[in-house]
Structure 1
C-alpha cells in the first residue's frame, strides 16, 4: 500500500493543470479493498489510452476563485422526498453507499468517507441551465474515469447511467425517478467528476448531497444530483422510456453539449 501513496502526478488527456490528479503521501487510508482498487488503477491508467478517448473533447473553460458567483441557484429537486433519503440525511450520509455495477468486471461500493480518501480534482466552471441562467462554482470530487477504470469495463460497455434518489413523478414502475447517462468518452473526460463538495464545502442538500455528477461540457440537466448508483450498460433499451434520461424520456436532447 505504501507504494501507492508515494506522491506522484499523472496526466489525463495530455493536460496538467489545477485539476491534475495527485496521490499524496498524507493519505492515511484504511485497508479497504475498494479504495485500494481505485488507487491501483491510478497507477495503470495510461496517457495514451486517455488521449485516444479524449482527442475530440477539449476542456471546458475554467475560471478563477474571483469569478465564483455570489449565489448559485438551486434548480430542480430541493430535497428528495423519500424516507430512505431522509434517514441518510439525518445520519449525515454516514450510511450512504455508492454502488458501481452493470457491465463491469469488479462491482464496487464506496461510502462517502471512502470517496474523500481517493485522488480528487477541483475545478471552477460555469453551470449553464436549459432555462437560460448560468452561475460559476467550484466543484471537488473524484474523476469518474478513475473509478470506472478500477471497476474494469466489459467489452460491450457503452454508457454510464446515474440512478438518483429524487423522484420527480410518483409512478409504479420507477420511471419518475431521476436518472441520467453519458457515453464513455464523456465519462473519461478529465473534467467529469463525482462531486462531493461545492465552493470548498460539503454539498448542500439543494445542490445534490451527498454526491452529484459534473460533466462540464453539457447543460445543467445532465449534472445529476443525489447519485446513488452507477450502472454501466450497452444500450438504453431496458431503461424506462429508452432515451437515456428522465428529461430525455420527456423530449429533451440526450446530448446537451454547450
Structure 2
C-alpha cells in the first residue's frame, strides 16, 4: 500500500530535472506537468484518506529550524479594484478588517482581527512546500479554523469551505480563491494565521489573515482571506474547480503531501 501513496513532493522531484521552475506564480505550464499532477490527484487523495488518520499531524519543527528567509509565494499584495479597500485597511493596521463567515451556516459571522486574536489559538512551526519545488520552515500562530466554523454552526449540507481573498491574478483580474473539504477544514493544524515568526503576518505573506493548511502544498494556503463561505458543492463558484489555479488548469484541487 505504501507504494501507492505517491506524494506531490515526490512527483515534483521526479519531474524537476526536465522542467525549469521559476516561481509559484510562474510555474511551468507544460502539459506534462499538468497531466502528471492531475493523474495523481485521485490516487493521492484516496490513498491518504484510506490509510491516514484524518487527524494525523504534519511534522512540526523547533525554533532552531526556522528558515533564515521565507519566500513569498503568489501575490505580494492585493492590488485589484477590490484591493483598494484592502490597501485602506493595511494603512490603518486592519482596524476595519472584518472576516465574513457565511454560506451554509446557522450563524453568519463578521469577525474583527481583535475577535480572532481573542479566540483560542494554535502555534505551530511547519514546513511550507511550494509546488515549484522550494520549501521553508516558519512559525505560525492563529485561530483554528474549526473554532470559527463551530461558532458559525455548519449546516448538515455543507461539504466545503471556500476562502475568498482580496487579491486577483491574471490579465482578466480573476478573484483569487481556494477551497478545502471538511476533513482538512477541521484538521487541528488548519488555522487562520495572523502571526508569522512572532510578529503580525506581513503583507507579502497575506496579511492580516492567511490560511495554513499544513497537509497540502502552498498554493492551498490562501492569502489575504476576507471571507469564508460554506458550500455544498464547488460547482458554480467562479470556474467551478475549487480554486484560481485549478480553474485556469494549472494545478489539481487536491494537493496533499
Query: Does the CA contact (< 8 Å) of 2:54 and 2:187 recur in 1?
Result: no
The residue aligned with 1:69 is 67
Q: Number of aligned pairs?
A: 202
* CA drift at 1:55: 3.6
- Secondary structure at the residue paired with 1:70? coil
Contact 1:115–1:142 under 8 Å retained in 2: yes
TM-score, length basis structure 1: 0.76
Q: C-alpha distance in 2, partners of 1:61/1:83?
A: 38
Structure 2 length-normalised TM: 0.77
More RCO (CA 8 Å, sep 6+): 2
Give the Cα–Cα distance (whole angstroms) in 2 for the partners of residues 64 and 159 of structure 1: 32
Please provide the CA RMSD for this pair. 1.2
Q: Distance in 2 between the 1:149 and 1:196 partners?
A: 19
State the secondary structure of the residue aligned to 1:124. strand
* Contact 2:54 2:183 (C-alpha < 8 Å) held by counterparts: no
Which ranges in structure 1 are unaligned for 5 or more consecutive residues? 1-53
Tell me, yes or no, if the aligned pair for 1:160 and 1:231 is still in contact at 8 Å. Answer: yes
Alignment of 1:116 with 2:121, yes or no, is: no
Contact kept? 1:169, 1:177, Cα under 8 Å: no
SS at match of 2:244: coil
Q: Is the 8 A contact 1:243 1:249 kept in 2?
A: yes
Q: Which residue of 2 aligns with 1:255?
A: 254
**Partner in structure 1 of residue 152 of structure 2:** 151
Does the 8 A contact of 2:142 with 2:194 survive in 1? Answer: yes
CA positional deviation for 1:57: 4.1
Residues 159-198 of structure 1 aligned to structure 2 (within 5 Å): 159-169=160-170, 171=172, 176-198=174-196
- 8 Å CA contact 1:144–1:188 kept in 2: the answer is yes
Higher helix fraction (1 or 2): 2
- What is the aligned partner in structure 1 of residue 23 from structure 2? none
- Indicate which of 58, 69, 77 corresponds to 1:79: 77
Secondary structure at the aligned position of 1:247 is classed as: helix
Is residue 164–residue 177 contact of structure 2 (8 Å, CA) maintained in 1? yes
Tell me, in whole angstroms, the C-alpha distance in 1 between the residues paired with 2:226 and 2:54: 30
Give, in angstroms, the shift of residue 146 of structure 1.
Answer: 1.1
Q: Which residues of structure 2 form unaligned runs of 5+? A: 1-51
Q: Distance in 2 between matches of 1:101 and 1:87?
A: 23
Tell me what 1:92 maps to. Answer: 93
CA offset digits 1:203-245 (Å, max 9, x no partner): 1000100000000000000000000000000001121111000
Aligned residue among 206, 229, 232 for 1:231: 229
Following TM superposition, by how much is the alpha carbon of 1:195 offset from its aligned partner in structure 2, in angstroms? 0.1
